[in-house]
Amino acid sequence: MRVVGVVLALLALAGCGGREDDDSTTVVAAVYALAWAAERVGGDSIHVVNLISAGGEPHDVELSPRDVETIRDADLVIYAGGGFQPAVEDAVEDRHGSSLDVLGAGEDPHVWLDPIRFAAAVGRIAERLGRADAVAGLVGELRHLDEEYRRGLERCARRTLVTSHASFGHLVMRYDLTALSLAGRSPEAEPGPRAIEQVVEAVRESGATTVFTEPLVSDRLAQTVAREAGVEVADLDPIEGLSEERLSAGEDYLSVMRDNLAALREALGCT
């Protein structure tokens, strides 16, 4: 009888655990920056699943059957549309739960690189999670970050930002800069020799002193263009994903945005 009692008790505990899991809110985020925002908004009350593993490159991600199932069963899916991650968009179309496309109007999915646009997206995430009353602090941090960028980029000798792919469109619009990308929207694009010659000439004419590459993709094209144009190469992170090492070191969206600002100020000759 004691054995039966123990078994029944264990079954009861297992049943209770299952109900708690069923009652929890699961949020799937398509890139690191959106996962970071969801965690900050939801706190311990939600479980956030980042579709991209630490250090993974999110463009044109391929989803496993388990990923598709996770998206289907989630309480909320947060993603950036516009063809940024076609597989994610397809999976979202096939689900019946709540989904939030933070892109809205426009083509550049990297809304988190503009703190003001990101603050608006954070507000929408909070509404979907029923946490609108708890988001003021994070929005305030993002607005303060915007002020840092405005002050830091106000007086610069140069205003052309040369990047390996077109991911900083929202940032350059917000802070009155000019964007010049080497490979369009795809970081893996490989322009031909004639196109590279044209890009090199454009970099020279712009007066830029730096070609920016990014941590998660090859810097081969950036190194080639920089060498031919006689300029430097530096890192500028689109914050699509952080490596496990960087996360363990305590880096996050805010710290990387501030590192980006320092890199921009140096490259653009800001005072």
Location of each CATH 3.40.50.1980 domain in the chain: 24-144, 155-268
Longest dimension (CA), the chain: 87
The answer, yes or no, to whether residue 3 has pLDDT greater than 60, is no
**Burial call 90-104: b when 16+ CB within 10 Å, e when fewer:** ebbeeeeeebbbbbe
What pTM was computed for the model?
Answer: 0.87
3-class secondary structure, 56: coil
Average pLDDT, the chain: 88
Q: What angle do CA 17, 32, 92 make, to 5 degrees?
A: 70
pLDDT in tens, 29-77: 999 999 999 999 999 889 999 998 776 777 768 899 999 999 999 999 9
In which region does residue 76 sit, left (phi positive, over 0), alpha (psi from -120 to 50) or beta (all else)?
Answer: beta
Report the top-level CATH class of 24-144.
alpha beta
Q: Which tens digit of pLDDT belongs to each residue from 79-118?
A: 999 888 999 999 999 999 999 999 977 788 999 999 999 9
- 75 to 47, 48, 242: CA distances (angstroms): 10, 10, 25
Q: Give the C-alpha separation, 46 to 23, whole Å.
A: 10
Per the model's pLDDT, the better-predicted residue between 125 and 243 turns out to be 125
Local confidence band at 217 (pLDDT 50, 70, 90 cut-offs):
confident
Domain 155-268 -> CATH class:
alpha beta
What is the percent of the chain where pLDDT is above 90? 70
**Coil/strand/helix, residue 156:** strand
Q: Quick one: CA torsion of 122, 127, 130, 134, rounded to 10 degrees?
A: 50
